């Protein structure tokens, strides 16, 4: 009854004499403006809710052991960064929140046709290099295996696909997860079912539902942060642009995950991620590796570093050679132009004498 009454009222309002001159184009324009404003307000409101939930989860997960150094809001409220410092074994803690541009009406319309994007949170814990063990271990989704093998130097150089012992309730490892690790027990100890990382995921804020484990995009432990391969590619340096971070920090623990669709579950999920990231960082910093295994890994890294330096020297020598060739080519071109000009002048002088 109310719907029919509202429809008749709207029809009488649009069909009134004072609105008779208004064309369909104007009405469509007014509807577009109204849709734009509605999506803008709705999108900003929802992004603000997600950001507040992430901030609260990080505050609970980080605890009182850190000091907030700075926070950056950029890219029209779709990207937020925070930097904390002041913890044992740790140079600093960096968090990045990538929000879906819900306030963009064009992307909102496209989202109804194409698969929607997700909010992603990335946590980086930078360890002190002095006590870090030579270790590279990672967990990635199966869809990203080819990309990370091609783009990440440490995984392509030192690691191979390996398995870990599953938990008794089959909740770990997550479905579709692929583990990368070096030979030895480090992968099992750091990312296995009985590791401190998995225990922290289950302990923070109550048991983490199994469906949340599917939201993990990557868990990456490396002592090769910022190191590039022979081709000068593949070194992902997350330290650039961060205030107060020493450029020599190589050991990094990264945890990246998609946020739950329900805003009410975001805070607990982010708290569990932050607690698990710091538990993994402590496990890496205090890990006791077999001396023989550690020596073999350091030897392999020294060989790769020597190979990388030789490749860099070859690239510099080739660049210097090309520069010399270019200079010689330019000089030869100037000489040819001068000889041609001299020939013209001599020919002109002979013609003047004949006349």
* Within-domain flag for 321: no
Q: By percentage, how much of the chain surpasses pLDDT 90?
A: 3
Return the closest-CA partner of residue 243 out of 86, 64, 82, 90. Answer: 82
Q: Pick the residue with more confidence: 246 or 153?
A: 153
Count of domains observed in the chain: 1
**Predicted local distance difference test score (pLDDT) of residue 65:** 67
pLDDT at 251 over 70: yes
Query: 3-class DSSP state for residue 177?
Result: strand
* Within-domain flag for 97: yes
Q: How many CA atoms lie within 13 A of 52 on its CB side?
A: 8
Tokens of residue 98, six digits: 């990538």
**Predicted local distance difference test score (pLDDT) of residue 116:** 63
pLDDT at 261 over 50: yes
User: Which positions ≥6 away from 226 have C-beta within 8 Å?
Assistant: 235, 236, 237, 239, 247, 250
Partnered with residue 74 across adjacent β-strands are 79
Determine the Cα angle at 216 with ends 77 and 113, to 5°: 60
Residue 127 and residue 285 in contact, taking contact as beta carbons nearer than 8 Å: yes
- For the segment 90-99, the average pLDDT, to the nearest whole number, is 86
* Within-domain flag for 50: yes
Choice among 79-88, 240-249, 281-290, 346-355 with the minimum mean pLDDT: 240-249
Q: What is the residue whose two structure tokens read 């008749």?
A: 8
* Within-domain flag for 18: no
Tokens of residue 210, six digits: 């199994």
Query: 3-class DSSP state for residue 294?
Result: helix
Q: By percentage, how much of the chain surpasses pLDDT 70?
A: 72
Residue 191 and residue 197 in contact, taking contact as beta carbons nearer than 8 Å: yes
User: Which positions ≥6 away from 258 have C-beta within 8 Å?
Assistant: 118, 119, 120, 215, 217
Mean of pLDDT over the chain:
76
- For the segment 250-256, the average pLDDT, to the nearest whole number, is 87
Q: What is the residue whose two structure tokens read 């030895």?
A: 184
Cα 269 from chain centroid (whole Å): 19
* Within-domain flag for 322: no
Q: Where are the alpha helices (DSSP H) in 100-151?
A: 105-110, 145-151
Backbone φ and ψ of 217, nearest 5°? -90, -40
Q: Residues 294-345: pLDDT tens digits?
A: 888 888 888 888 888 888 888 888 888 788 777 767 677 777 778 888 777 7
Residue 92 and residue 84 in contact, taking contact as beta carbons nearer than 8 Å: yes
* Within-domain flag for 297: no
pLDDT at 206 over 70: no
Residue 128 and residue 89 in contact, taking contact as beta carbons nearer than 8 Å: yes
- One DSSP character per residue, 217-239 reads EEEEEES-TT---TTS-----TT
**Predicted local distance difference test score (pLDDT) of residue 22:** 54
Range of the domain at 211: 32-289
**Predicted local distance difference test score (pLDDT) of residue 17:** 46
pLDDT at 184 over 80: yes
* Within-domain flag for 98: yes
**Predicted local distance difference test score (pLDDT) of residue 12:** 56
Tokens of residue 49, six digits: 């809710």
Helices and strands (H, E) in the chain, number of each type = 10, 9
* Rounded Cα–Cα distance for residues 194 and 167 (Å): 8
- For the segment 74-92, the average pLDDT, to the nearest whole number, is 75
Choice among 28-37, 143-152, 225-234 with the minimum mean pLDDT: 225-234
* Within-domain flag for 147: yes
**Predicted local distance difference test score (pLDDT) of residue 121:** 92
Q: How many CA atoms lie within 13 A of 281 on its CB side?
A: 27
Q: What is the residue whose two structure tokens read 């020297």?
A: 313
């Amino acid at each position: 009854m109310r719907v029919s009454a509202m429809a008749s009222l709207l029809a009488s309002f649009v069909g009134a004499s004072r609105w008779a001159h208004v064309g369909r184009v104007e009405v469509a324009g007014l509807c577009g403006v109204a849709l734009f404003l509605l999506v803008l307000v709705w999108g900003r409101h929802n992004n603000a809710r997600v950001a507040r939930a992430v901030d609260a989860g990080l505050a609970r997960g980080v605890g009182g052991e850190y000091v907030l150094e700075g926070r950056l809001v950029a890219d029209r409220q779709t990207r937020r960064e925070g930097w904390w410092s002041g913890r044992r074994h740790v140079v600093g803690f960096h968090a990045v929140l990538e929000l879906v541009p819900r306030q963009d009406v064009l992307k909102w319309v496209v989202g109804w046709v194409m698969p929607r994007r997700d909010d992603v949170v990335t946590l980086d814990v930078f360890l002190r290099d002095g006590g870090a063990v030579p270790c590279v271990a990672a967990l990635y989704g199966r869809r990203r295996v080819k990309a990370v093998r091609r783009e990440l130097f440490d995984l392509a150089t030192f690691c191979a696909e390996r398995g870990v012992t599953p938990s008794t309730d089959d909740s770990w490892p997550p479905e579709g997860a692929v583990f990368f690790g070096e030979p030895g027990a480090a992968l099992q100890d750091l990312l296995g079912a009985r590791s401190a990382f998995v225990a922290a995921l289950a302990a923070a804020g109550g048991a983490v539902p199994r469906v949340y484990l599917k939201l993990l995009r990557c868990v990456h432990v490396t002592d090769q942060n910022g190191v590039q391969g022979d081709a000068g590619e593949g070194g992902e340096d997350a330290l650039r642009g961060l205030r107060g971070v020493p450029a020599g920090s190589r050991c990094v623990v990264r945890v990246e995950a998609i946020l739950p669709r329900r805003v009410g579950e975001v805070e607990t999920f982010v708290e569990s991620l932050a607690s698990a990231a710091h538990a993994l960082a402590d496990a890496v910093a205090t890990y006791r590796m077999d001396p023989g295994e550690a020596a073999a890994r350091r030897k392999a890294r020294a060989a790769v570093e020597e190979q990388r330096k030789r490749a860099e020297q070859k690239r510099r020598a080739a660049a210097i050679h090309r520069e010399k060739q270019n200079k010689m080519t330019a000089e030869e071109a100037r000489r040819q132009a001068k000889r041609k000009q001299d020939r013209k002048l001599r020919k002109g002088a002979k013609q003047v004498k004949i006349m």
